[in-house]
């Protein structure tokens, strides 16, 4: 939204006979312009900030589509039609300080006031906002006020909030109510009607299923290949990778899989699909496989975390249709959580290191450094209070 306003503001100034240094009063712009600007806001935080500017902004666009999906969203069980599952939505944000935040009455959120941090937020209609670890998806406690009895208030207008991505997970209602390991959901903008939404899921057996709004059961997209590892939304399409590292996209209208890349032929045990700076990557995870895993490994690769030995990263060269071995991510960090994968620049981010992969091992959040190939544990503290705000360890786990 900021870049959009900047472009419009620059255009207004260039067309004006007044000085270029004159501040444009946005509230005086013609009312008919606001709905046109608002339709370019593709995430809820930008819509929220837009509508909070003034009354004319707020009345120009609604908070969302009147029939937008409301989470948790009920969906059918992949096997037992008598059971229901529920999909929850979370959002990963970068929170950056501004002049207003540095002058607020809160203690500094970070050692460097110019750097931001990552946070994951889960919102449902029945529960208050939950803070989650971006890596482990664990729920975190709210920071408390001075008397340690009530949550500290946080005015988002005092910070620059950037939405990175959304993630989805299927919540269990009974011990046997879910067999999903990854779910993707599209489209998901504020202007989306629930009737247009499609969910795509990888089940524990490696099967790939798809469900449109109104369907009473999941439909298998490929009933021959039961070895799918990961799924993401890329350029408005569902993309999947199988255990051989072959990327395909799903034609939702025909339920056909269209192969998009050659097989990677990597020897890792699990493939993670990643979008970074407009390109597709596969992160190949290598497990420390003990002798007792034996024949059951194919099954167990889907239903439990296993100790990680190393990672290898490959980038898809779409022009030449080949895989490129990536040795250095430069300032980028790759985050592999159970519900989503995303990359982020670490230059202006607290607690994250470039050329590293962050992931959850059996019990802990860990970091794999591509420089020295070492794995280190990332500190995790589930309690957030004022003494931790300056260090922000909860942002790094």
Q: What is the pLDDT of residue 230?
A: 97
CA atoms within 13 A on the CB side of 123: 8
Distance CA 168, CA 188 (A): 11
Q: Please tell me the pTM assigned to this model.
A: 0.84
Residues in a beta bridge with 130: 122
| Strand order across the beta sheet in which 356-360 lies | 341-345, 332-336, 356-360, 365-369, 375-377
Q: Of 69, 190, 90, which is closest to residue 140 (Cα–Cα)?
A: 90
- The more confident residue out of 315 and 112 is 315
Q: How far apart are CA 136 and CA 337, in angstroms?
A: 6
Q: Looking at per-residue confidence, does 393 or 151 come out higher?
A: 151
Please compute the mean of the pLDDT values over residues 336-360 and round it to a whole number. 94
Position 100 scores a pLDDT of 60
Q: Give the pLDDT confidence score for residue 92 in this predicted structure.
A: 95
Candidate from 177-186, 239-248, 289-298 with smallest mean pLDDT: 289-298
**Segment 288-303 mean pLDDT:** 52
Render pLDDT for 357-377 as a digit per residue (tens, 0 to 9): 999 887 788 999 999 999 999
pLDDT, one tens digit per residue, over 189-238 is: 999 999 999 999 998 888 999 999 989 889 999 888 778 999 999 999 99
Look at residue 384 in the predicted model and tell me its pLDDT. 39
pLDDT in tens, 166-175: 999 988 766 6
Whether 186 has a pLDDT exceeding 90, the answer reads yes
pLDDT at 51 over 60: yes
Alpha carbon 252 to its chain centroid, in Å, reads 22
pLDDT digits (tens, 9 = 90+) for 140-165: 766 545 555 555 566 777 788 899 99
Contact 392, 351 (CB under 8 A): yes
Quote the CA–CA distance of 98 and 242 in Å, as a whole number: 43
Distance CA 217, CA 284 (A): 32
Nearest CA-CA partner of 2 in 20, 18, 26 = 26
pLDDT of residue 29: 77
Q: Residue-wise over 9-43: b if at least 16 C-beta within 10 A, else e?
A: eeeeeeeeeeeeeeebebeeeeeeebeebbeebeb
pLDDT at position 288, please? 85
CB 394, CB 140: distance < 8 Å: yes
As a whole number of angstroms, the distance between CA 134 and CA 217 comes to: 31
d(CA 198, CA 187): 7
């Amino acid at each position: 939204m900021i870049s959009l306003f900047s472009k419009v503001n620059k255009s207004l100034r260039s067309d004006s006979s007044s000085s270029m240094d004159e501040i444009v009063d946005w509230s005086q712009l013609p009312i008919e312009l606001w709905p046109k600007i608002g339709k370019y806001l593709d995430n809820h935080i930008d819509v929220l900030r837009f509508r909070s500017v003034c009354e004319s902004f707020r009345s120009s666009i609604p908070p969302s589509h009147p029939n937008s999906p409301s989470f948790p969203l009920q969906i059918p069980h992949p096997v037992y039609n008598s059971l229901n599952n529920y999909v929850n939505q979370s959002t990963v944000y970068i929170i950056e300080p501004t002049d207003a935040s540095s002058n607020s009455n809160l203690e500094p959120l970070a050692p460097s006031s110019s750097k931001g941090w990552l946070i994951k937020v889960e919102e449902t209609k029945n529960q208050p906002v939950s803070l989650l670890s971006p890596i482990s998806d664990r729920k975190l406690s709210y920071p408390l006020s001075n008397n340690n009895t009530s949550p500290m208030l946080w005015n988002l207008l005092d910070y620059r909030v950037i939405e990175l991505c959304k993630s989805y997970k299927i919540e269990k209602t009974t011990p046997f109510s879910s067999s999903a390991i990854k779910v993707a959901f599209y489209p998901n903008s504020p202007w989306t009607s629930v009737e247009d939404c499609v969910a795509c899921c990888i089940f524990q057996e490696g099967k790939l299923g798809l469900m449109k709004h109104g369907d009473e059961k999941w439909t298998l997209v490929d009933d021959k290949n039961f070895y799918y590892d990961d799924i993401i939304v890329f350029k408005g399409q569902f993309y999947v990778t199988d255990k051989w590292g072959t990327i395909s996209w799903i034609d939702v209208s025909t339920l056909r899989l269209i192969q998009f890349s050659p097989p990677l032929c990597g020897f890792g045990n699990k493939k993670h699909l990643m979008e970074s700076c407009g390109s597709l990557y596969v992160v190949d995870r290598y497990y420390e496989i003990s002798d007792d895993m034996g024949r059951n490994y194919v099954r167990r690769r889907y239903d439990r975390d296993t100790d990680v030995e190393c990672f290898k990263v490959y980038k898809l060269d779409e022009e030449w249709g080949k895989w490129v071995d990536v040795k250095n991510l430069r300032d980028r960090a790759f985050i592999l959580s159970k519900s989503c994968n995303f990359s982020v620049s670490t230059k202006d981010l607290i607690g994250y290191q470039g050329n590293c992969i962050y992931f959850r091992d059996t019990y802990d959040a860990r970091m794999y450094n591509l420089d020295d190939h070492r794995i280190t544990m990332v500190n995790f503290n589930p309690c957030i209070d004022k003494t931790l705000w300056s260090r922000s360890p909860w942002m790094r786990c």
